[in-house]
Amino acid sequence: MSPSVRLQEMIRVIRGARTQGEERGVIQRECAAIRAQFRQADNGTRSHNLAKLLYVHMLGYPAHFGQMECVRLIASPRYNEKRVGYLGAMMLLDEKQDASLLITNSIKNDLSHNSQYVQSLALCTLACMGSAEMCRDLAPEIDRLLRASNSYIKKKAALCAVHIVRKVPDLGELFTPAARSLLCEKNHGVLHGAVVLITELCERNPDTLEQFRKVVPELVQIMKGLVMSGYSPEHNVAGISDPFLQVRILRLLRILGRNNDTASDAMNDLLAQVATNTDSSKTAGSAVLYETVLTVMDIKSESGLRVLAVNILGRFLLNNDRNIRYISMTSLQKIVQTDHNAVQRHRGTIVDCLKDQDASVKRRALELSLALVSAVNIRSLMKELLLFLSSCPPELRAHTTSGIFNAAERYAPSQRWHIDTILHVLTTAGGDVRDETVPNLIQLITTATELHCYTVHKLYRALITDISVQSLVQVACWCIGEYGDLLLRGECEETEPVQVTEDDVLDALETVLQSHMSSPATRGFALTATMKLSTRITHNVDRIRSIVSIYGSCIDVELQQRAVEYNALFKKYDHMRYRGSVCGAPSPSLEVCDLLDLLGGSGEPVPSSGLSHTVPGPATSTSGGDLLDLLGGLDAVERGSVKVYEKNGVTLKLQTDSQTDTGMTITLTATNSTDGDITSLTLQAAVPKSVQLQMKAPSGDVIPARGLGLVTQTVLLNNPNKVSLKMRVRVCYSSQGAVCQDTVQIDSFPSPAW
Amino acid sequence: MRFLLLFSRQGKLRLQKWFTPIPEREKKKIVRDMTTMVLARKPRSCNFLHWKDLKIVYKRYASLYFCCGLDAEENELIALEMLHRYVELLDKYFGNVCELDIIFNFEKAYFILDEFLLGGEIQETSKQVVSRAIEASDMLQEVRCCPVGTDLRSVFPSS
């Protein structure tokens, strides 16, 4: 039985194994046999054993014990053994293995072998896995072969030189002269190798690049010869004469013509000729045209040539072959920034490619469409993009939504269009939008004041249709809570009038609250909106109260806390809640939910029993997110009270409870941050002559230490003559055995709560 | 070109050629990624993919997928032609080549590849030249007892 059949027999046995385990068993046996054979003396079967091992290696099993055998076989005088040995070296050894160094000498010898096929093996292996050290060692040998050998060896030596230059760039200088002379060869294989080598040399060394610019005319001649030549059976591919060589020459021309007018001029005519004469009905021709276009766009070409190139790409877009459409779009993507107008001309075709079946083509079309958006085409292009969004593959949705939002933000022709577009995206693909979309949209809606009525109607309609898209539901709830009164009013200029009752609105919000599809954040939005509505509606406050109280025992802690706080508002501060609705709509200049005004200041918590009424601070702007934390935290921050005295750890604050034309009620609050109690606290006040003063009894005269308690005293002021109110307060107290007395002048009073 | 892989519809590797030094573990990962990506493609998709910073070009011939990884500046369309050329060479050599030929004669598939590509680049653009070189090498292999120093060029003319 011939040894090679034994290899095939082994393959057959392995393939016949029915399970992974069986296969492993067979392979273990075979490997053991191979190992044994390797240890024996030469018996004529070494190459076949190594071949078997290589097969096993390809299946994924370890084969490192064959490395030394490769080294031995390479050194053999027999061609068949050398062949398999070198193959083994390429498969099992890489430059990181120590054994690879051992074959350097064999390679060196074989490079000078009498047989070109042996030389070929050595060249191939060196080009495949030669380490930097091996390359340095053998470079002179390669250079010699570049100059004085037959074309079979020259072409291989050229590519070997490419590998050497990649590994040891400094050696490029060594090969430059030989590379230059190789361009005179007629043999296509050698020419191809020469062009690849020159390309590599020019890419790595700007001086070499400068040198080789001089050969542009020569390259042009070679190309002309290829393009104009008649049918050549040896190199013809689908009517193109040696497309592989043409493509490499075009690529080299690109590198030489880049940033250089002279070189670019010299190749201008040729490029025009190739662009017009190449038949692109098959892939080979299209490949050449493609490379031509890339070169034209990258060098300093005439504008006419550039237009020609972009038109070729435009033609590619209409090609039946999907690959060509894909290539066209990747190329257009590269030039869309620099040749924007030229690419815009093909926008229609590009947009059509959004409907292509192929996912890669769709992706490219999307990228390109987004790059082509401008103020001029935003409306029509957005229509196409939204259409695309409704049927686009899932992996592209997130990218599409963010692209649409960016485009809308930059080029929105009107606020209404902008809001409509975002709402459309949310309805179509709300699950694939970024997190910031909700607060961004809320911000946008807030600023578009004339559209509040329109927006709330639209969002309400969206809400009652579908509550599965969280982002949309959140914005809708916020909007309803904010502008619910506009919704209930019924008429709206921009949309059809529709009658919405308070019950309808509360139904919608309650559905959101109860639905299992709603996330905790969404429920929070819905609950807050329900609460806000309590000031905007008149008939259903009890219903709101009951909704809110139910959630006071909700499992979700966030929701529960919120509900409890809202409940407290109902119980203790009902009058405050109602006052707000009497006050009417907030002024448009405030960028803040009017609920904040209602409950007194942004971030204002529900007051604890120790404090007096809270006073709202100045209106501050907040983003949508902060609104949710409206009632978060129970730390007592007294905003709106004025500090009138602070000394020795004793602080005196003044708050205005109420104010009329002819009088006001204020409260003085004293706190103590020292370690010891403050005792015998007395406050005395003096006012201008026409003003009448009445001080109510203080809550006490001892201020506990470390802020654990406080003392308050209410003062009534009657100002019938409406003079400018001033007050002088004398503070007396004992602190750590010492008696202190101070006087403060109060010239202005903070504004009252209501 | 960084690598060339041949694998079956079941994801079994039939040939692997690596043109840059890569650790064994990473090779296995690349093979896994390629087979997963390519086998997941729909029948009439385009033949180009993106993977990390490489362009992947693949083509299916009967039960075998031919897949190569290119650098950014390489021409995908000519790579398709290159894959096709390799298949033509295999076909000429084996006569109506099928997957089994490549399985049972994998070393020959490598030898043919090594006459067509070198260091990741095309070394010969003429089909006939490549085929003649393979034939000559095969004949040389038959001559088992080849003494060192025999001028084989007199026996087997070059190119």
- Please count the other Cβ atoms lying within 10 Å of the Cβ belonging to residue A88: 26
Report d(CA B39, CA B28) in Å as an integer. Answer: 16
Cα B55 to chain centroid distance, Å, stands at: 17
Q: Residue holding tokens 């501060």?
A: A573
Asked whether the beta carbons of residue A115 and residue B140 sit closer than 8 angstroms, the reply is yes
Query: How many Cα atoms are found within 13 Å in the side-chain-facing hemisphere of A35?
Result: 10
DSSP A623: -
* Per-residue model confidence as pLDDT tens digits over A181-194: 999 999 999 999 99
pLDDT value for A530: 87
Chain B hits for A243, CB-CB cut-off 8 Å, are: 78, 81
459-518 in A: which are within 8 Å (CB) of B? none
Asked whether the beta carbons of residue A155 and residue B124 sit closer than 8 angstroms, the reply is yes
- Determine contact: B76 vs chain A, CB below 8 A: yes
Residue B144 pLDDT class (50, 70, 90 cuts): low
Question: Could you tell me how many residues make up chain A?
Answer: 754
- Please state the rounded mean pLDDT for residues B133-140: 93
- Determine contact: B8 vs chain A, CB below 8 A: no
Report d(CA B84, CA B127) in Å as an integer. Answer: 11
Sign of CA dihedral A244, A245, A247, A248: positive
Instruction: Compare CB distances from A196 to B15, B19, B121 and report the shortest one's residue.
Output: B121
Burial class (CB in 10 A: 0-12, 13-18, 19+), A2: exposed
Report d(CA A634, CA B35) in Å as an integer. Answer: 59
Report d(CA A58, CA A583) in Å as an integer. Answer: 83
- Determine contact: A196 vs chain B, CB below 8 A: yes
Q: Is the pLDDT of residue B156 over 80?
A: no
Show the tokens assigned to A746: 């109060």
Task: Tell me the three state secondary structure of residue A728.
Answer: strand
Asked whether the beta carbons of residue A155 and residue B104 sit closer than 8 angstroms, the reply is no
Sign of CA dihedral A521, A527, A531, A533: positive
- Please count the other Cβ atoms lying within 10 Å of the Cβ belonging to residue A539: 9
pLDDT value for A638: 43
- Determine contact: B59 vs chain A, CB below 8 A: no
Residues of chain A with pLDDT under 50: 1-2, 579-639, 754
Q: How many CB pairs (< 8 A) connect A and B?
A: 173
Cα-based angle A396, A397, A398 (whole degrees, multiple of 5): 100
pLDDT value for B55: 95
Instruction: Compare CB distances from A127 to B118, B137, B153 and report the shortest one's residue.
Output: B118
Give which of A204, A247, A209, A253 is closest to A227, Cα–Cα.
Answer: A247
Q: Residue holding tokens 């003096």?
A: A686
A678-686/A727-735 β-pairing: antiparallel
Asked whether the beta carbons of residue B80 and residue A11 sit closer than 8 angstroms, the reply is no
Instruction: Compare CB distances from A189 to B111, B129, B143 and report the shortest one's residue.
Output: B129
Beta-bridge partner residues of A712: A669
Nearest CA in chain A to B125: A189
- Determine contact: A84 vs chain B, CB below 8 A: yes
- Determine contact: A327 vs chain B, CB below 8 A: yes
* Residue A633, phi-psi category: left (phi > 0), alpha (psi -120 to 50), beta (remainder): left
Report d(CA B62, CA B90) in Å as an integer. Answer: 13
Contact B4, B15 (CB under 8 A): yes
Instruction: Compare CB distances from A327 to B14, B73, B76 and report the shortest one's residue.
Output: B76
